[in-house]
Structure 1
Amino acid sequence: MTANREAPPPGGRRSTVRSLARLWPYARPVRGTLLVAALCAVLASCFGLVTPLALKWIVDGPVADRDPPGVWLGGLVVALLGVAEAGLAGARRILVAGPLAGVEARMRSAFYHRLQRLPVSFHDRWPSGQLLSRATTDLMLVRIFLSFPLTFLLANGVTILVGFAVLLLQKWTLGLVLLAPVVPLIVLCSLFEERYSRAARTSQDRVGDLTTIAEESVLGIRVIKGFGRHRAQESAFARQSALLRESELRKASLLGRLWGLVTALPELAIGAALVLGVVQVADGDLTAGTLVAFLSTALALRWPVESIGFLLAICNDAAAATDRFFEVMDAPQAPPDAAPEAGPAAGRTGSATVRDRGLRLAGVEFRYPDAPAAAPPVLRGVDLHIRPGETMALVGTTGSGKTTLTALIPRLHDATAGRITLDGREITALPRARLRELVSVAFEEPTLFSASAGENVLMGAAGAGEAELRRALAVAQAGFVHALPDGHRTQVGELGLSLSGGQRQRLALARAVVGSPRYLILDDPLSALDVHTEALVESALREVLATTTALVVAHRPSTVLLADRVALLSGGRIAAVGTHHELLRGNREYASLMSGPEHRP
């Protein structure tokens, strides 16, 4: 899977300058440092241009007059100019290193902050490798641009202008010879910028695709080995790697051709100026010192001119990286939180009527943002009321929308129509932080992080301590944690893959109950457990469910029996609500679901 490729802006191709200008808010705090660094680079270049003038003085003065002390003095001046140039270049590097590393770190933090606040639908569409490459490789390219090309585009531009002014003042006819390649170079750079920009974007997108394959292969290594698919994965990786190699060679080819022409044209001009200058010296129209100074100045301008292609390449790489960065930063966020209530009444629900208390869904509809326009909603007109302290089981066929419905309550997705209320208050009127304090969720596919077992559980409640941790582990029958090498401080590894599926599921259940939430959403939390462990967990879970309002997605009669009532989800609607025994007697679809082979004890 590859990331969505963004189309060029309407009305023309992407502007490199406009893309890079978007970095200004991040670079503004270090603008003083960047200005001083640029000044150091300009001064270093100017010292380099003074050196030819010193050589002219040496040749036309002490050398022509056969004055050894004057030659030594001239040599000392040239050496001091070289030391000053080197010192300023070193100072520039030292000045920008720390501040620009800070800019990169702030951009990466802003990127991560944004990812955490983008809706789940965004993460459903974007491959993780594309996001990872934007947070690492792309931001490194941005830092390189700010530390090198941004400074040297200014310094080299000033150097070229001052250098050609010096050349024209020394001998304008020779200066015009050196100016001859300017127009062809401008045309070449314009053509190069357009082509290289496209190649840079393609290459960076392919880095993201390659990162995705590598990440999926590492996380799915058990599946790959289990099915003997390592050769197929290697082939997929090799194909994507070949595409990346192709785009990198395309960039190298473009840069090589431009650099060759940018180098050759000025060299030809210097050669022509040399021949013309020698003729003028022979005719007595030009002093030898002036010719030496002229040629030394021309040679000093070689690097500023020849670096144009290299600097343009880095600028285009950085512009493509900036575009990719802002594709994520510009992605629409979830609707903003409601303003938090003030005063002692904040968070209280005593004003809700008896009818409104508990969890209520009224006319709820949901359609995925990227679903075809003609496709029916996943959920339509869902009406459901779970009374305070009640446990409701939600059952339905595979694909009926049970998991989608549970995701609407903590606002992992927002309903496209209808209302969801907690004790009479719409969840959209609650700040998300407050909502997710009230509602705790355990997903069918448990996700653990590269942390200790205890830290994974305590993520479910801010401020919970050792006592809450032990209670939650006991409810989830996760006593195996105490037998781990370092107890609950044992690191469980990436995604918790060092544990079995049942162990991961029990830790996820412990995480859901550790904070004694007011509302509990359990999405088939016992599917990976054996019958004996399931019975133990259900027995302990009954005590928790007695003190909370819960919605439990269930596929097995044993889980359904935890509930006070059962809701049947069918065709995107709640088709029936009642006790387990009532629905068994009065609803054929429910009876069929509960009597299927997969539900028999």
Structure 2
Amino acid sequence: MPDTTKVADADRSAVRSLLRLWPYVRPVRTRVSVAAGVAIVASCTGLLIPLVLKWIVDGPVADRDPAGVWFGGGLLLALGFGEAALFGLRRWLVARPLAGVEAAMRADLYRHLQRLPVSFHDRWASGQLLSRGTTDLMLLRMFLAFPLTFLLVNGVTILVGFAILLAQEWTLGLILLGPVLPLVVLCSTFERKFSLAARKAQDQVGDLTTVVEESVLGIRVIKGFGRHRSQARAFHDLAHRLRGTELHKARLLAGIWALIMALPELAIGVALIVGTTQVADGELSAGTLVGFLSTALALRWPVESIGFLLAISNEAATAADRYFEVMDEPEADAGDAALVPSPRAAGPAGGDAGLRFHDVTFTFPDADSPTLEGIDLHIRSGETMALVGATGSGKTALTALVPRLHELTAGRITLDGHDIQDMTRDELRTLVAVAFEEPTLFSATAGENVLMGADLEGAAGDEALRRALDVAQAGFVDDLPEGAGTQVGEQGLSLSGGQRQRLALARAIVGRPRFLVLDDPLSALDVHTEALVEAALRQVLAETTALVVAHRPSTVLLADRVALLSGGRITAVGTHEELLHGNDEYRRLMSGAEPRKELAR
């Protein structure tokens, strides 16, 4: 995963980070603006209450007018109800659009993750991505719903309130303005420190999510090897570090909040003493002092909330940074929209018919040396080529290049003469189907998992599903409680390894692909089932051009020819019999005497 600490330490601006949310907020800007306007009116309505109090004290109370007091009391009650109603209206106005903003951001993140290259997912922990799609988006929604509005509302309220204070008694107003400069300095320092702590905490949440996810998915391994104590320690250590960071955030917030509350309270106390003296000397009316102090007290919440609002805003800014770190990653499909023509529109280009590797080199992003180098291999149209090699020779990397799960470092791969780099991934995936050695199933029905391999519905989908299940010898599906409609559970762990592999094979062949790439698709099958699958698979391979990674002689015999991959290079190509009699390394591999090699990626 990238070093997120550098992002937190870099020169950054919370405002710039939050401004990147504008494209999502723009569609609902009218309703959000109206809600902010309503909140400003509501807050300023509250500032009218001290003025009414001043009038009551200097008027009806001083004149001993009960009717005037009752009228003033009713006016105060009406202002209170009006303020509450306006704040309720504001909440109603923003609830639906901001929920839509969060949903749109989550949908964009999910779509973007699906289009990012495999190399990105190799680098990033899944827990970090999950936390960005859940916790971080929740923080952004909270910011848009509350701090975004109330930083503006409270700012306007403070300005209007101080204008009222200065208009009532400017000498007392200047006393209350005294803490402004210290508060600005304190808030600036707080913002810088809190943003670092917030970023650290959010990254730690992602790490903790990763541990929880891995523990749940790997529960069988943990229980099988009795590693629950070590996993619990790992979880405890991460949780303890997160707890320490959250406590640090709490201390920062407590400190700023204490100062923000103490300094204005001190100024109000001084103003109260000075104002009382002025009333005693006859320089100030009692009603003016009551109105002044009531206005000052009404401004307590807008002032005291600054620390709380800044904290949420900084957490939202770091959440925005984390969200856009992923969204800024270039998509693997970024240039697909402009690519033409479709490979289906043109026929094979002479001798290049089939699948061909032209001097292909591939290096993993974080590797020092190439995994594959100078690969020249031609699988003729309708031919099945077995790919054989020792552990770590690069077989899986080679098969991943055909559907562009990884991008070439150098060279070309062509399908019927057409460079795969000139095809959109949508076109490429309609031509090429893949079955991996480690089958992945989703929390869906058995039938839905298989039909992921083809865009088929209705009767055509049912027919293709049945054919694929028959070829893959996946008749066990019929014995499931609801047949093909049975939910197989997360990762398909309710099925055996062989059953998952047969469903993955059925998924690869259900769409009758023109090119088929199989990465040791029969490794988890028993001998009897393997023989049945091989017999049915011969029919499929006769109709397609296939590259099959093979470790067993029985799988190799499915192929027309065999390519030997050694040290990232193709060192021999021929029939099984030719290589068996003419190549010592191939003979050792087929006899099971594979030399020990360093485990590959």
Name the TM-score class by shorter chain.
over 0.9
> How far apart, in 2, do the equivalents of 1:42 and 1:522 lie?
64
Match of 1:284 in 2: 282
> How far apart, in 2, do the equivalents of 1:503 and 1:42 lie?
63
C-alpha deviation, 1:572, in angstroms: 1.0
Match of 1:550 in 2: 546
Q: After superposition, where does 1:38-57 map in structure 2 within 5 Å?
A: 38-57=36-55
Within the candidate set 168, 171, 190, 1:170 is matched to 168
Match of 2:108 in 1: 110
CA pair 470-257 structure 1, distance change in 2 beyond 3 A = same
3-state SS, counterpart of residue 421 of structure 1: strand
C-alpha deviation, 1:6, in angstroms: 5.1
Match of 1:439 in 2: 432
Match of 2:599 in 1: none
- AA aligned opposite 1:574: I
- AA aligned opposite 2:122: D
> How far apart, in 1, do the equivalents of 2:210 and 2:67 lie?
68
C-alpha deviation, 1:218, in angstroms: 0.3
Match of 1:4 in 2: 3
> How far apart, in 2, do the equivalents of 1:248 and 1:513 lie?
51
> How far apart, in 2, do the equivalents of 1:478 and 1:598 lie?
32
Cα shift readout 1:263-312 (whole Å, capped 9, x = no counterpart): 01100110110011000000000000000000000000000000000000
Mapped contact 1:477–1:537 kept (Cα < 8 A): yes
3-state SS, counterpart of residue 347 of structure 2: coil
Match of 2:309 in 1: 311
Match of 1:414 in 2: 407
Mapped contact 2:5–2:200 kept (Cα < 8 A): no
> How far apart, in 1, do the equivalents of 2:558 and 2:594 lie?
18
Match of 1:27 in 2: 25
- AA aligned opposite 1:478: A
C-alpha deviation, 1:336, in angstroms: 1.9
- AA aligned opposite 2:390: T
Within the candidate set 127, 130, 139, 1:141 is matched to 139
Q: Does residue 447 of structure 2 align to residue 454 of structure 1?
A: yes
3-state SS, counterpart of residue 512 of structure 2: coil
3-state SS, counterpart of residue 347 of structure 1: helix
Match of 2:497 in 1: 501
> How far apart, in 2, do the equivalents of 1:160 and 1:9 lie?
32
Cα shift readout 1:75-134 (whole Å, capped 9, x = no counterpart): 111111111110110001111000000000000001011101110000000000000000
C-alpha deviation, 1:13, in angstroms: 2.3
C-alpha deviation, 1:595, in angstroms: 1.1
- AA aligned opposite 1:521: V
> How far apart, in 1, do the equivalents of 2:67 and 2:594 lie?
103
Identity within the alignment, %: 71
> How far apart, in 1, do the equivalents of 2:592 and 2:482 lie?
43
> How far apart, in 1, do the equivalents of 2:8 and 2:535 lie?
60
Within the candidate set 555, 558, 571, 1:559 is matched to 555
Mapped contact 2:39–2:87 kept (Cα < 8 A): yes
Match of 1:352 in 2: 349
C-alpha deviation, 1:340, in angstroms: 5.1
Cα shift readout 1:369-418 (whole Å, capped 9, x = no counterpart): 122xxx22000000000001100000001011000000000011111100
Cα shift readout 1:120-166 (whole Å, capped 9, x = no counterpart): 00000000000000000000000000010010011100010111111
Mapped contact 1:3–1:209 kept (Cα < 8 A): no
Count of paired positions: 591
Match of 2:257 in 1: 259
C-alpha deviation, 1:56, in angstroms: 0.4
3-state SS, counterpart of residue 517 of structure 2: strand
Mapped contact 2:343–2:423 kept (Cα < 8 A): no
> How far apart, in 1, do the equivalents of 2:573 and 2:554 lie?
18
3-state SS, counterpart of residue 465 of structure 1: helix
> How far apart, in 2, do the equivalents of 1:288 and 1:427 lie?
86
Q: Does residue 176 of structure 2 align to residue 153 of structure 1?
A: no
- Flag structure 1 segments of 5+ consecutive residues without an equivalent: none
CA pair 351-487 structure 1, distance change in 2 beyond 3 A = closer
> How far apart, in 1, do the equivalents of 2:445 and 2:163 lie?
67
- AA aligned opposite 2:422: A
CA pair 204-9 structure 1, distance change in 2 beyond 3 A = closer
> How far apart, in 2, do the equivalents of 1:146 and 1:474 lie?
54
C-alpha deviation, 1:338, in angstroms: 6.0
3-state SS, counterpart of residue 350 of structure 1: coil
- AA aligned opposite 2:62: A
Q: Which portions of structure 1, spanning 4 or more consecutive aligned residues, are displaced by more than 6 angstroms?
A: none
C-alpha deviation, 1:173, in angstroms: 0.6
> How far apart, in 2, do the equivalents of 1:332 and 1:460 lie?
26
Mapped contact 1:167–1:175 kept (Cα < 8 A): yes
Mapped contact 2:161–2:299 kept (Cα < 8 A): yes
C-alpha deviation, 1:7, in angstroms: 2.0
> How far apart, in 1, do the equivalents of 2:81 and 2:406 lie?
63
Match of 1:339 in 2: 338
C-alpha deviation, 1:5, in angstroms: 1.3
3-state SS, counterpart of residue 4 of structure 2: coil
> How far apart, in 2, do the equivalents of 1:392 and 1:488 lie?
32
- AA aligned opposite 1:248: E
> How far apart, in 2, do the equivalents of 1:231 and 1:239 lie?
12
Match of 1:390 in 2: 383
Mapped contact 1:3–1:127 kept (Cα < 8 A): no
Mapped contact 1:505–1:526 kept (Cα < 8 A): yes
> How far apart, in 2, do the equivalents of 1:347 and 1:531 lie?
39
Q: Does residue 129 of structure 2 align to residue 131 of structure 1?
A: yes
Mapped contact 1:40–1:89 kept (Cα < 8 A): yes
Mapped contact 1:338–1:428 kept (Cα < 8 A): no
3-state SS, counterpart of residue 253 of structure 1: helix
Within the candidate set 421, 425, 436, 1:428 is matched to 421
Match of 1:596 in 2: 592
- AA aligned opposite 1:412: L
Match of 1:181 in 2: 179
Mapped contact 1:472–1:510 kept (Cα < 8 A): yes
Mapped contact 2:102–2:137 kept (Cα < 8 A): yes
> How far apart, in 2, do the equivalents of 1:326 and 1:300 lie?
39
Match of 2:395 in 1: 402
C-alpha deviation, 1:320, in angstroms: 0.5
Within the candidate set 361, 367, 382, 2:363 is matched to 367
Match of 2:241 in 1: 243
Q: After superposition, where does 1:312-327 map in structure 2 within 5 Å?
A: 312-327=310-325
Match of 2:84 in 1: 86
> How far apart, in 1, do the equivalents of 2:306 and 2:339 lie?
54
> How far apart, in 1, do the equivalents of 2:3 and 2:405 lie?
22
- Flag structure 2 segments of 5+ consecutive residues without an equivalent: 596-601
Q: After superposition, where does 1:441-590 map in structure 2 within 5 Å?
A: 441-463=434-456, 464-590=460-586
Mapped contact 1:163–1:301 kept (Cα < 8 A): yes
Q: Please, what TM-score do these two structures have when normalized by structure 2?
A: 0.97
CA pair 418-125 structure 1, distance change in 2 beyond 3 A = same
> How far apart, in 2, do the equivalents of 1:348 and 1:3 lie?
42
- AA aligned opposite 1:528: A
- AA aligned opposite 1:399: G
C-alpha deviation, 1:337, in angstroms: 1.6
3-state SS, counterpart of residue 361 of structure 1: strand
> How far apart, in 1, do the equivalents of 2:292 and 2:484 lie?
76
> How far apart, in 2, do the equivalents of 1:587 and 1:468 lie?
41
> How far apart, in 2, do the equivalents of 1:376 and 1:153 lie?
54
- AA aligned opposite 1:44: A
> How far apart, in 2, do the equivalents of 1:475 and 1:236 lie?
45
- AA aligned opposite 2:539: E
C-alpha deviation, 1:349, in angstroms: 3.6
C-alpha deviation, 1:346, in angstroms: 6.1
C-alpha deviation, 1:4, in angstroms: 3.1
C-alpha deviation, 1:332, in angstroms: 2.1
